Amino acid sequence: MCLALPAKIMTIDEGSDMATVALGEVKKEVSIALIEDAKINDYVLIHVGYALNKISPEEAERTLQLFAEAGLTE
């Protein structure tokens, strides 16, 4: 089973198709090569170092809340 996590794009390096995303206090570099028109403050689903697609802020919040209710986040 695979799990994709919602994260917010904080910075973008357009030359390398890489972005810094944040999930709470955790920041990570991921590839945004699979996403068209990615912008700072967009929410994306990340898996194994790649942003797979964009999601709405509301969907990201719902998903993070479900993770918290399941005890998967601190």
For the segment 14-67, what is each residue's pLDDT rounded down to a tens digit?
899 999 999 888 999 999 999 999 999 999 999 999 999 999 999 999 998 988
Question: CA 61 to CA 66: how far, in whole Å?
Answer: 9
CA 49, 18, 62 angle in degrees (round to 5)?
60
Q: Where are the domains of the chain?
A: 5-69
pTM above 0.85, yes or no: yes
Provide the residue type at 56 as one letter.
S
What CATH code is assigned to 5-69?
A: 2.30.30.140
